[in-house]
Amino acid sequence: MSHKETLAKVLLGPVLLAQGLYTRRMTPRLPEAEGERQGEAGSGDVLRLLIVGDSAAAGVGAATQGEALSGRLVERLAEDYQVSWKLWARTGLDSQGLLELLEQHAPEPFDVALLSIGVNDVTSTLAVDQWLARQRRLMALLCDKFAVKQIVLSPLPPMHLFPALPQPLRWFLGFRARRFNARLADLAAGVDQCTMLTTPLTPEPGLMASDGFHPGPMLYRQWADDAARVIGQRFSTTTIKTGVEDV
């Protein structure tokens, strides 16, 4: 834990606790997006896709999976691949909960896994080093048990900008989220199979869900576009351009 985080907890501890309890009680509980959580789409080379994680992976903030991360990502990838996909996600999961979820599933091969996890770790008391140890276990489990060739890591959102959070809780969680992201980026840079997304999912007015905490459909689209781009960079068969345009 950093000196700044320790000092903030000492000086602001009772305020942060009270604001956290208040925010949890007052924030509306939105449902997970409705719709299929597995399927096939598109044509071309087969791409086996697994999306795993928390409420954002489950599409909270969108009415249907088609408007959420899974639907938008499958739609984009299906332009170039025959996508066989599954979504394993649940509201409230933290990294430990996701590890347990993955351990419950039978082994099955996937080419790509998109990971959305961490917000519930940031809002807990988990230290960043413990969190990183769990990320390493998640990566190992995905590669070993599920034969994943590429893990696409979603960064934690900019919680210091979340409209649902009062100050100083917003500042404190934002500070923790940025520290978690910086350490995750360092970890990802040293693992060949990992790609960390860089799209800033800025919670501008109209882009967030009604709870002020989850993405809305437009942010899910941005997130999926960024993921599709990095997946395409890894898996596209490179062709030599002749410079002659099709007419």
Mean pLDDT of the chain: 88
**The predicted structure's pLDDT at residue 220:** 96
**Pairing mode, if any, of strands 194-196 and 112-116?**
unpaired
Verify cis geometry, omega within 30 degrees of 0, for the bond prior to 168.
yes
The alpha carbons of the chain give a radius of gyration, in whole angstroms, of 19
* Averaged pLDDT for residues 34-53: 97
**Is residue 179's pLDDT more than 70?**
yes
pLDDT tens digits for 190-246?
999 999 998 777 777 778 898 888 999 999 999 999 999 999 998 875 433 333 343
Place of tokens 């925010």: 23
Rounded Cα distance between 23 and 21, Å, is: 6
Tokens representing residue 15 in the block? 């305020």
**Pairing mode, if any, of strands 38-41 and 112-116?**
unpaired
Rounded Cα distance between 2 and 156, Å, is: 18
Place of tokens 């430990």: 96
**The predicted structure's pLDDT at residue 21:** 64
Yes or no: say if 224 and 76 are a contact pair by the CB < 8 Å rule: yes
pTM attached to this predicted model: 0.87
- Please name which of 116, 109, 117 lies closest in space to residue 148, comparing C-alpha atoms: 109
Any idea which of 128-132, 159-163, 182-186, 202-206 has the lowest mean pLDDT? 202-206
Yes or no: say if 226 and 197 are a contact pair by the CB < 8 Å rule: yes
Question: E strands along 117-243, which residues?
Answer: 150-153, 194-196
**The predicted structure's pLDDT at residue 238:** 40
Place of tokens 């998640």: 138
CB within 8 Å of 23: residues ≥ 6 apart? 164, 165, 166, 169
Domains of the chain, start order: 30-235 (3.40.50.1110)
Yes or no: say if 73 and 228 are a contact pair by the CB < 8 Å rule: yes
Element (H, E) at 85: strand 81-89
pLDDT tens digits for 80-114?
999 999 999 999 999 999 999 999 999 999 999 99
- Sign of the CA dihedral with 216 first, then 220, 222, and 223 last: positive
Element (H, E) at 51: strand 45-53
**The predicted structure's pLDDT at residue 169:** 87
